[in-house]
Structure formats: structure tokens, C-alpha cells
Amino acid sequence: MASTVYVEDMSVGMSRSRERLISEAEIALFGEVSGDRNPVHFDEAYAAGTMFGGVIAHGMLAGAMISAVLGEDLPGHGTVYLGQTLKFRGPVRPGDVVRSTVTVAEINLAKRRVTLDCVSVVGDQVVVEGQATVLAPSRAGTEKVARAA
């Protein structure tokens, strides 16, 4: 499914999505890789007493999924990640299927700089939204020009 969309082939509104079932296994893995072992992600008894009423996934796990759509699908391989904003709108719980979508919002062809709107949903509920800024790969060869910049 991985691909590259060159900046020359992009248009505003173009989008790509990925879906992922978030289970306790993904949450455990994210705890390991981040070092974040906050009990709201792991301890059902503790989490039951919080405003969430149960265990939730790390917010940044949804952020990681957005970065995967950018790095794998749109723009895909060759993308240089410049920036990301994220607003955490609601919890992701074990068993939720998160769908992350990135949509091209602005293209600066000369600078190869692309802004993409990012949203992650569970069903109809927005759980994360934000905006990504990337240096997109170019048919002219991103690496050489970026290196010279």
C-alpha cells in the first residue's frame, strides 16, 4: 500500500487514510517505545476512577498513526516531516478502530512545502485533529535540492 505522491502530482483535497484496531497490545507497545507507563493507559482500576472511566490509549499513539499515513502514503516515501499540530478531542479505548486521514490543504510548489489537514476518528467521533507540514518528494529529486538548500 505504500507509495510516493510527488509534489507535482498533488492537488488540494487529495487524501489518504489508514485504519488500525487499537488493542491492549498496541498500547503496551507504545508504553514501551515512549517510556510512558501512566496508569490511565494500563491500570483498569485506576483508570475507572478518572474522567475517562476506563483505560485509554496514549494520545500520541494516534499522532504516530498520522505520521505513518504521511510517511507511507501521502506524500509517502521521500517525505521530510517539518511540523505537526495535534488537538486531542476524545479518548481512544482498547478495541477501537481508529481511522486517520490526511488531506492536502496547501501546496507551495517552488519550496515543495505541503500542508495537510489531519484527522483521526473512531466511528463518527473525532479523536485527534491537526495539521502537518512536510517537504514533499519531487520528480526533480527532493534530496539533491534539499541538500543544496
Contact by Cβ (8 Å): 114, 81: no
Contact by Cβ (8 Å): 89, 98: no
Is residue 78 within the footprint of its own copies (CB under 8 A)? yes
Pick the closest to residue 78 from 132, 137, 134, 6 (CA basis). Answer: 137
Gap between the Cα atoms of 52 and 5, Å rounded: 39
Binding span for its own copies by CB under 8 A among 9-17, 28-36, 105-113, 118-126: 28-36
Is residue 63 within the footprint of its own copies (CB under 8 A)? yes
Closer to its own copies by CB, 2 or 13: give it: 2
Pick the closest to residue 95 from 9, 20, 6 (CA basis). Answer: 20
Answer whether the bond into residue 91 is a cis peptide, omega within 30°.
no
Strands (E), 1-149: 15-22, 80-88, 96-108, 113-122, 125-135
Is residue 20 within the footprint of its own copies (CB under 8 A)? yes
Binding-site residue total for its own copies (CB under 8 A)?
A: 46
Binding span for its own copies by CB under 8 A among 6-14, 70-78, 101-109, 116-124: 70-78
Closer to its own copies by CB, 39 or 95: give it: 39
Is residue 29 within the footprint of its own copies (CB under 8 A)? yes
Closer to its own copies by CB, 47 or 104: give it: 47
Interface with its own copies (CB under 8 A): 2, 18, 20, 26, 29-30, 32-40, 49-51, 58-61, 63-65, 67-68, 71-72, 76-88, 142-143, 146-147
